[in-house]
Structure 1
Amino acid sequence: MEKKDYIEKTEKEIDVSLNEAWTLIRTDLKQAFSIIKKAEKLAIKINYDKGIAFCMILLARYNAIKSSNYDEALQLASEGNELAISIGSDEVQIKASYVLGYLYTDLGNLELGLRNYFRGLELMKEKNEEIDPFFLNNIGVVYYDSGQFDEALEFLQEALKTLRKIEKVEYIFESLVLANIAEIYLIKKNTETALKFINESFIVLKENGAESHCFAQNYNVLGLIYKEIGDFQKALENLQLSLSLYKENNQKYMEANGFKEIGKLYLSRNRKEEAIINLKNGLKIAERINAFGMLKDIYMVLAEIAEKDNDYKNAFNYLKSYNELNEKIKTKELDDKLVQHMTEFKVEKAQKDAEIQRLKNEELRRKSEETALKARALAESYEDIKIIGEIGQKITATLDIKKVLNMVYKNINKLMDADIFGICLYNAEQGLITFRIMIEQGKRLPLIKTTIDNEKSFAAKCIREKQAVCLNNIIADSNQQLRYGHGVTKMLSKSIIYYPLIVEDKVVGAMTVQSYRENAYSERSMGMIKALASYIAIALNNSQKSEELKAKSNELEILSKTDVLTGVFNRRYLMDRIEEEALNYKKTQQEFSVVILDIDYFKKVNDIYGHDCGDYILVKLTKLLKTSMRRQDILARWGGEEFLMLLPNTKGDAATSLCEGIRKKIEGTNFVYRKNKIKLTVTFGVEEYNESLGVDSTINNADKNLYKGKNQGRNCVVSH
């Protein structure tokens, strides 16, 4: 077998093995670990970056489940994700998003957890893949942890529905989703429904012969149900059984949660000593694994106990710790993202519902051709729904408010008589109603504003009362005409509809259709407006937030390009820029050089002064480098204490000269940290771009030059 064929065959074997381990890790950790290590050895042997990245992601997941070693897990997952990004593997990036999502969620950083889940969803949408029910479940968990239980339930039910469409359902995961749903119904005080779902979860596990440790969460939820019912003994038995199973499997996060729930159970019977013992056991574990969300909950319970015992000093300390953690993990950005995602979720669902309705009416139309009258009525109904569905799909697909308004106007006359059409937006904070479009027979009218308390405005009345206004025989009085929200029209309307635009019980505006004719609008007209309004409301709500979301998107884009610690560009971004320079070279033959530089003996700085000092040095050095470089030069953190520089329009000799100047400047600088003067030197590897070698080899040569410099005694600039 030729080497190329061998490598391709081995890569496929590695992919199959790692996908098997991804599924197996939920039920057989030991076997999954064995598969991962064998695949890792093979991937390293043939230098298969995708396999290596996938192994890192799986090992991160293994460490989190096996020993709750979140620090190591986060490092592995981040490195695996970075490698997947650099090689352009969407498949591994989706896996990384999932693992990083639940790691950050377990640590209590819901914002970062949510950011990673969103990233995974976007990648799936880009690849036109079916949404992974695991992501839906875990987003539901984020909503649960943030206290938004209705939204959490919606996502979990969608996860269960999606999961059961899969040909071969993973029973462990099905059981998990059922248990999560049961827990939410319990929170909502619906113990009967909670029992129904937890019993269903038990049945799924038993029918599939699941091992005992798989029942841990079920026993935990069942214990909480018995607690709610008031059966202390059964609650305690189930919670203790759950805790023992978590201990056996070394699931530290869930073990801490088990101690917390048992502590709260004892507290419900005023058995404070036993409660405190269990809560402090949970606290120790949560502190050890940095589970900030868990710590926050336990601190609050301990604070309440101390306050009841008049131990105000401890109560204050616990509350202080609680507030510090709460500020750390609860951010406005999280709330905004939760609202954004729920809106997107409802838009997609509305689109699916519209398509289902269209198909139903199509079937109804075909079956109802027995009489001409019936056929005509059904055809009209079908056309209405078809047009509304088409409008809905178009307007919910854009955040551009002008496009939304124009799309609605272009189609509204297909549905009803609309000599005048308008849409206004409502700003609740300012109490202001602003017309964004007002058109009379194709001609745009001047736009006006009014206040919510304007008694002469039907727009204000409609928004205030959250109810439609429908009048079919209006007196042609110019003063009365002003009440409709607009007075600059060619003719006076005889029939009007104003309909509120509502999203999640919040009025975002109103739409109006008006006719010169009396009795222009029927119940059918009102039904069509109602159907259309739900789409318009969502689209307008999205567009109102679009500027804020764009700003956040820009912020996230900057974050995706930059190194968190130093603020300079990251490896992925600079690699893209170097590739662009290479393409430009092909067209213009404009030379450029790359430089890799490394801080000499940086480990000693960390060992002597600590890692905080190391971080300080990296930040200060970055600033010095940026001020020493030219405007066109680009700096990125390559990894650890290594940096990469792109020097456009620069030959190798000029690059060497520039680096020599920077080297001397660093050598002559005192880096002061807590009154300690620290001297640094840096070694540079310089390489001019060689088209025949390509980008990767050019960078590798710069790296080789760097290590030549290290071997020559460091603190130097080396080039060919």
Structure 2
Amino acid sequence: MKNSLHTKIYDLIDKAETAEKHNTEAAINISLELLKIPELQELPLEASKNLVRIGRCLWIKGDYDISIEYLEKALVFCSEANDNYALVDALIVLANVYKSMEWFNSALLNYGKALVIAEDHKLKELISKIYNNIGALHEETKNYDEALEYFEKCLNMAKEIKNEYIIAISYLNIGHIKMFLDNNEDAKKDIIISKEYFDKHNRTIPLAHSYYQFGIILKKEGNYDESIKSFKDGIFNAEKGKDSSVLFRIYLEIAEVYILLDETKTAEIIYFKALTLAKKLGMSTMLSNVYEKMALYYQKTNNNIQAIKYFNHYNNINNEIEDNRMKEIRKSIELQSKLSESKEETKIYRNLSTKLEKSYNDMKVLSKIGQAITSTRNIEKIFENLYKNVNHLMPADSLTLGLYNPETNKLHFDLSIEKGEYLEVYSMELNHKNSWTVWCYNNKKTVRINDFETEYHDYIESEGESDGDEMNSAIFTPLVFEDEVIGVFTVQAEKRNSYTEADEILLFTLSSYLAIAIKNASKTKELAKLNEKLKIKSEQDGLIGIANRRLFDEKYTESWEVSVKNKENLLIMMMDIDNFKDLNDKYGHLTGDEVLKAVGKILEEEKDENSFVARYGGDEFVAIFSQTSKSRFMEFDNRFRTKLFDLNITLNIKTKINVSIGVALITPKKEDNMKTLIYSADEQLYSSKANGKNQTSFITIKK
């Protein structure tokens, strides 16, 4: 009986392995069926591999939280099986999940642990995978030179062990990096190599990635039709392989191509597909991306109301992302705790106890710092929290934050602390030859220096002078957000040889927190300004520049409620330009537009602080007068008509420009209908026109 069950188990394992190459959903279903067989627990190695497969497939699908749960279980079985290969594989996938969630410090720590174990046991296939994934992590943080170095390491290792699949993956990733480095011709050659292998072996998921990357290169080259074709092939394979992540990215890219081709409606449809997918997956980062794209799309197509809507969604989801980051820190720490508790019971972790303990402690400190700097939008508070906590990670006698200002084209150092004291504010030109900070910014690379005196010539022409105490060691790291260098973060120490490679990695991780926090702080300000700008634009008449019907409706409601509360008079004026159609026909629409602008300008000039004017539609204008009377309105009417008289001369028009006006006045009560006043003013306007035009008709509504 047991033999037959074991045969069934191994048959299902073979089926799951085959399915994983083509269809993640099928692989998950088969692996879950395996979990239902109790005897699988008697085979801890097979059980651990099965759990890793489920975790990996869930990661590809985008179900990150559930993926982590299965991978945590896999780590327990790996320890019981005492299998180094399965343990490294589980750590790699776990790191991949954290990378996809953009929780880079957790990813880096797990890749590091996996690499130590793999190198100790000469697991070359897994070493190549780790090189590949660390390269992908550097790519994610826009550190392309480092990414290329690791992808090439992966390729060389894959060639050494003759693993054709990893070779193809390496070419795909190297091609992607070369594309970012603007080496499109070599990039295409590398991606074609990978594409041919994946197509030949029916590997739908990496094939989708190949078409996606090839489409981006074609888009960059301006070959839009071929780019769309490549993206569509990518969509087909992504849907077939159930890879939601690449499917989402293709949607965003192909929508941009359609915009470039002025096929905006098609682009809008695809953006909504991306939005639906992001909502289905519940991925905040995806929602942030698509909300931003849609806001910019609507802004470009002059749909300001929709632009405001999606910019607000974008702002709200970014706040949610920060909250989620904190939750992921706690999850990561819980995982580290579980590993820490079990490490003394396994040979694998016994040999790594010191390294793991440091990683765990560093994680706790990073968690504290991350929580501190992402809990506020105030840059000064962010910097103070950094200085307060960074000494727990490494020596930090001095801490400096330099941010790039595009208006001055300089690095501005408004925040520098040395031994607890703030230094004076200063700025620096980007062509400064003796500045480590400028070198770091311009080259977009982290610099670790353990002796300024002997190492300066590798980077700068000569040592610059400092206003504070003499420092001998430092790490300079660029602050990069979405491929944009926004500044430089620096930690320095008086002692020589103060910093290790581990410190450099930690500061790099910390800089990613800092860049996000700073960008969010600035985006909050920018978004507020943009929202105000778009709000004003959406409430203004595009031709005349005064308020439009939409804003009038809001103001009228407000004015009515205030007048009811204060028992004050409220007056509505409706105005129409006489014979405007004839004027348009005779002088043309451009002249007609100038007349509308001029009339609107006079209305704006003559209104007082208690009145509001708007274009109601066509050649019709409307105005609200609060706290007024008939006599005060007639004073306005006389001033307006006097200025109107001069328009013929100003605009060089012989046809007399006249207006008909209808006015209604009321002291509204709570039980009154708001529409009554509008209807009455409109009736008075009709009366003015019926009685010969160029006059004002007035009614006071009495109870």
TM-score range, shorter chain: 0.3 to 0.5
Larger Rg: 2
Q: TM-score, normalised by structure 2?
A: 0.48
More contact order relative to length (CA 8 Å, sep ≥ 6): 2
Q: TM-score, normalised by structure 1?
A: 0.47
